[in-house]
Amino acid sequence: HYLTDVYHGKGDPVRNPFKFALFCIFFPSLVSGPIKRFQPFLAQVEEGLPRPPASKALLGLAQVLLGFFKKLVIADNATMVIHLLEKRTDLTFGPVCLLMALLSVRILFDFSGYSDIAIGLGKMIGLDLPANFNFPYIARNITEFWRRWHMSLSSWIRDYIYIPLGGNRVGLARKFINLMVTMFVCGLWHGASWHFGLWGMYHGAGLALHNLWEKSGTGQKWASWPYSRFLDVAATNVFVAYGWLLFFYPMDQVVKFTRH
C-alpha cells in the first residue's frame, strides 16, 4: 500500500523511520486490523494527538468492553459448541446446518470483537481508526455483504488488486476473471492454504453471478417485489454460511459435510 501510493503520487514519502515504524506496528490493529492507510493515520500523528475529551475516551472504553464481550462470551462459547459438533461422526443435515450457523456467529463476533478493541483503544488516545464491520448479516446480496464485512480489507483489495487489474472498465468476461483473481488473493490473504483460495473463488463466483442477476430483467423484477428483501437476506446468509465451511475446513471435510 505504502510503496504503491508513493509511486503513484498519492502520498509523500515518510522520511522519518520512527513515524513509519509507528504506522507499521501500531499494536492495537497489528494482528487483526482494521487495515489502516498511512496517509490518514500519520496525518493524525503529525498534527499531535490532543488529550481526548472524557466522552470520547468513555466511548472508546465502552467499545473495548463490547469487543471483549463479543470475543470472550459469544465467540468463545460458540467455538466450544463447534468443537463438540466436530467430534461427532454421525453429523446429519440438522447438525451441519447448526455448525454453519455457529461458524457464522463465531467468526463475526470474534473478528468484529478484535476490531472493536482496536478501534476503542484508538479512541481512548484520540486516534481514529477505520470502521471494519457494519452488520454484514443483514446484507441483501453478496456484493452488499462485502461492503459491510471487513470493510478495510474489502476497500484494500478493491484499490490495490481489483482496480489495477481493470476493475469494471473491461468487458464482462474479463471483469469476472478480475473478480475471481481478486477474491482468490483475498482468500490467500487469510493464510497460505488451498481451502482459503477456494473460499475466495467461491465468493468471486458469487459476486459474478450476482452481477449477472442484478442486471437481468428477472433480477430487476425480483428486486421490485416488496418481500424480496427478506428472502434475499436469507439466501445471502445461507451462501455465506456454507462458505465458512470452505474457510475453516479442508475440502475433503467439506465434501463430507455436504453429503449430509
Catalytically active residues are 190
Distance CA 10, CA 39 (A): 9
134 to 94, 108, 149, 151, 178: CA distances (angstroms): 29, 11, 7, 8, 25
Burial code (b: 16+ CB inside 10 Å, e: under 16) for 95-107 equals ebeebbebbbbbb
Nearest one of 231, 211, 219, 110 to 170, comparing CA atoms: 211
193 to 53, 190, 196, 240, 251: CA distances (angstroms): 45, 9, 6, 19, 11
Q: Is residue 145 within 8 Å of 236, Cβ to Cβ?
A: yes
| Amino acid letter, 6 | V
Dihedral (CA of 233, 234, 236, 237) sign: positive
Q: Chain centroid to CA 137: how far? A: 12
Three cell numbers written together for 32: 487483526
